[in-house]
Structure 1
Amino acid sequence: MDDTGPQHEMIAVPAGRVTLSDRRSLRTWTVELAGYRLAAHPVTRELYARVTGRTDLTGRPADADGGARLPVESVSWQDAVHFCNALSLSEGFTPAYRVVSDVGDGVGGIDWDASADGYRLPTEAEWEHACRAGTDGPRYGPLDDIAWYRANSGERIQEVGGRRPNSWGLHDMLGNVWEWCWDLYDPEVYGAYRVLRGGGWFDEHWSCRASVRRRSHPTFRVDDVGFRVARSVPGAAG
């Protein structure tokens, strides 16, 4: 465990190397990563409402159905970017994103300042490295122990932290909600579509694997997509 902020816990993720793959294109690529911090679980409704003042994204208040500890969902990639900046400002960090405009295609209007110390979305390489936590199989443990998915979720979203974390202390990396990453999925084919990772509460077991990639438009909102935050570590080396 690295530190506990006033509203959330961040985990120190060590530097490393991860090889990603895309089943559609049969492409593989390797990424070297510096150390970074990643939230122990997805952003909750309670935290999202507290930081943004918005309780209406899903049409219900943060504590509806006893749901303050449920992952926030029905948030777009653009919503997540704005949340990251708001959270950074609330804690005295430099925002990671410069928002020129929320342009419809999601490209060109939002820049990432990699030197900033504020909160941001993980890259998909950071996400997969953290999910695997040093393992090399499709999952970091038996799926029923580590994830909420269609077979055990009751076909509804579940509170964060209710399943066993991986060996680095990260909960819900698989299942519960898909998580937005910073990256474009394949701009030559899909334009502005951004990467989603992890699988969700309504997915079958084959979607809840460390390597599975999904994509969607940066303005897309649906009830099984959320996100978690990351922060760069100043001076960290890969």
Structure 2
Amino acid sequence: MLDLVDIPGGLLFLRDDRVGRRWHVDVPAFRLGRYPLTRDGLPLTGVSWYGAVALCNQLSEEAGLPVAYAIDGELVEWDAASPGYRLPTEAEWQHACTAGTPAYRYGPLDKIAWYAENSGGTVQPVGRREPNAWGLHDMLGNVWEWCWDQYDPETYGPYRIFRGGGFDDPARSVGSTVRRRSHPTFSIEDLGLRLARSISN
């Protein structure tokens, strides 16, 4: 599904409890998929970060949009001014997840998310749990979602961030501030992506 929602800008506070760092980001308005990217109604999974950015470019080309990424082997550069499909930044993802509030979750977990206690141990069709205040479904649970950002380049090199929690995760791992990381070649059955687009001024 390529249904994108207009997300208003706002100020967001992020933290990395591992190193005790806190910072804020002024998030400009952008667009974000109402659902994770799907195949036959289920979230598309088993896609690496490299595969995700390549898929974003493919979808941009199919839609007649300029691509957002220049890809040269393992080197990926993002043209932030491009209106093409892309991955959200970590700050954009969290801002959209909480719908502009500092809440850890946007509702009771069993009503908004598929996780270990209610998923039956498998990925579920999108849109069957309650959305957040901005109309976004499955921001928490079902599948983790790749973000653009590197986790900590000085310590982890090219590792990229993913957010949101998955269908096999315990409740404690399904929240707006939970951050995970892996190598950009990593792929697994509970990790997918959600499309974003920049809004041109």
What TM-score does the superposition give when structure 1 sets the normalisation length? 0.83
Residue 12 in 1 paired to residue 6 in 2? yes
Alignment-derived partner of residue 105 in structure 2: 139
SS at match of 1:87: helix
Deviates more, 1:195-204 or 1:18-27: 18-27
- The CA deviation at 1:135 is 2.3
Distance in 1, matches of 2:101 and 2:11, equals: 12
- Consecutive unaligned residues of structure 1, counting only runs of 5 or more, are 1-6, 46-67, 104-108
Q: State the identity %.
A: 55
Q: CA deviation at 1:134?
A: 2.3
For the aligned residue pairs, the C-alpha RMSD in angstroms reads 0.7
Alpha carbons 2:121, 2:168 under 8 Å: kept: yes
Distance in structure 1 (CA, Å) of the matches to 2:171 and 2:117: 8
Residue in structure 2 matching 1:44, options 38, 42, 47: 38
Separation in 2 of the partners of 1:94 and 1:8? Answer: 16
Q: Which amino acid aligns with 2:139?
A: M
Q: Is contact 2:10-2:100 (8 Å) kept? A: no
1:70-92 C-alpha deviation (Å, 9 max, x unpaired): 10111000010011000001111
TM alignment of 1:200-219, pairs within 5 A: 200-219=166-185
TM-superposition CA deviations, 1:175-222 (whole Å, max 9, x none): 000000000000011110000100000000011000000000000011
Deviation digits for residues 35-94 of structure 1 (CA, Å, limit 9, x no counterpart): 00000010012xxxxxxxxxxxxxxxxxxxxxx111011100001001100000111110
* Cα distance in structure 1, aligned partners of 2:131 and 2:20: 30
Taking the aligned partners of 1:98 and 1:178, their CA distance within structure 2 comes to 25
User: 2:65 — aligned with what?
Assistant: 93
Q: Which runs of 5+ in 2 are unaligned?
A: none
Query: 1:53-92 maps to which residues of 2 (within 5 A)?
Result: 68-92=40-64
Q: 4+ residue stretches of structure 1 with deviation over 4 A?
A: none
* CA drift at 1:129: 0.1
- Residue deviations 1:92-147, cap 9 Å, x none? 1100000111x2xxxxx110011111000000000000000022221000000000
Question: After superposition, what is the alpha-carbon deviation per residue over 1:6-26, rounded to whole angstroms, capped at 9, x for unaligned?
Answer: x52100000101111112111
| Equivalent position to 1:117, from 83, 86, 109 | 83
2:165 is matched with which residue? 199
Aligned residue identity for 1:70: L
Q: How much has 1:27 moved relative to structure 2?
A: 1.0
Partner of 1:119, secondary structure, is: coil
User: What is the CA–CA distance in structure 2 between the aligned matches of 1:178 and 1:171, rounded to whole Å?
Assistant: 13
Structure having the higher strand fraction is 2
- How far apart, in 2, do the equivalents of 1:189 and 1:160 lie? 35
Secondary structure of 2:104's counterpart equals coil
**Aligned residues between the structures:** 201
